[in-house]
Amino acid sequence: MKIYGDLISGNCLKVKYVVDFLAIDYEWVPVDVVGGGSRTPEMLALNPVGQVPFIELADGRVLSQSNAIMRYLAAGSNLIPEDFFDQAKMDQWLFWEQYSHETAIAVARYRVVYLGQAVADLDAVLVEKGNAALDVMERRLSENDWFVGDGITLADIALYAYTQFAEQPGFSMSDRPNISRWLAEAKTLLDVA
C-alpha cells in the first residue's frame, strides 16, 4: 500500500499514526502540498479531489479523506470500539472534527505558519470557532480520559492531529488542563515512529 501525504499536514499524520500504531506495512509517497504537489496531472489522475492524504492499494484501488482512510485501515483493531453505539460515538467525533475543529484550528495554523499571517490579524470568527471547539474538547475530557470508552480510538487520533499544533496560531492550552493531559498521553502512544 502507498500512502500519499505531507508530514506538515495533520490530516496526513492521522493516517501515519494509525499504520505505525498497528504496524501495517506501507510506502510513504511524499507530496508537497504547499507547492501544489497534490494537484499535478499525475496526482489528479489518482485522486481528482487534488488533496492528500490518499492511499493506493496494491490492486490499484484509491481511498481519500483522512477519517475514511483511518476507518478502513483500523477495521477490526482496538482503535475502533466493538460496541455499535460506541462506534457511532466515535464517528460522531470524526464528523465533528472535520466540520467544527479542523476547519478552524488547521485553517488558522495554515494561515499563520505557512502563509505568514500574524496571529493578531487572524479572523476573529475563525479564532472564536477554534476556541469553541477546544472548549467542547476540554469539557469532554474533564468527564472521561478519552473521547470514547476507556482507551484511545480513532476519535482521539483525529482530534490529536491538529490539536497538538493549536498553540502555533495562538490558541491557549494554559486554561485547558484536560486537553493538555490528553495530548501528553496520546503523544506517548502515537509519536513513537
* Chain positions contacting ligand GSH, by CB under 6 A: 9, 11, 33, 38-39, 50-53, 65-67, 98
Q: What is the DSSP string of 66-133?
A: HHHHHHHHTTTSTTS-SSHHHHHHHHHHHHHIIIIIHHHHHHHHIIIIIS---GGGS-HHHHHHHHHH
The distance of closest approach from Cβ of residue 52 to ligand GSH in the complex, given in angstroms and rounded to an integer, is 4
Name the burial class of residue 128, with classes exposed (0-12), middle (13-18) and buried (19+) by CB atoms within 10 angstroms of its CB: exposed
**Identity of the residue, 33 or 90, whose beta carbon is nearer to ligand GSH in the bound complex:** 33
The distance of closest approach from Cβ of residue 122 to ligand GSH in the complex, given in angstroms and rounded to an integer, is 18
The distance of closest approach from Cβ of residue 114 to ligand GSH in the complex, given in angstroms and rounded to an integer, is 10
**Identity of the residue, 51 or 163, whose beta carbon is nearer to ligand GSH in the bound complex:** 51
Q: Which amino acid is at 131?
A: N
**Identity of the residue, 5 or 176, whose beta carbon is nearer to ligand GSH in the bound complex:** 5
**Identity of the residue, 11 or 153, whose beta carbon is nearer to ligand GSH in the bound complex:** 11
The distance of closest approach from Cβ of residue 90 to ligand GSH in the complex, given in angstroms and rounded to an integer, is 16
> Under DSSP, is residue 155 helix (H, G, I), strand (E, B) or coil?
helix
